[in-house]
Amino acid sequence: MKTELTPLNRKSFYGKAVAIRYGEITSLKSYNTIVANYNHTTNKMVVNGWYSSTTARHINSFLNMFGFDNCTKKEMNNYKN
Nearest Cα neighbor of 22 from 1, 45, 48 is 1
pLDDT at 79: 76
Query: Domain containing 45: what range?
Result: 2-77
pLDDT exceeds 70 at position 9 = no
DSSP 49: -
Pairing relationship of beta strands 17-22 and 2-4 according to DSSP bridges: antiparallel
Among 8-12, 60-64, 66-70, the range scoring the smallest mean pLDDT is 8-12
pTM, two decimals, is: 0.84
Q: How many domains is the chain built from? A: 1
Q: Each residue of 10-62: pLDDT tens digit? A: 555 777 889 999 999 999 999 999 999 999 999 999 999 889 988 998 999 99
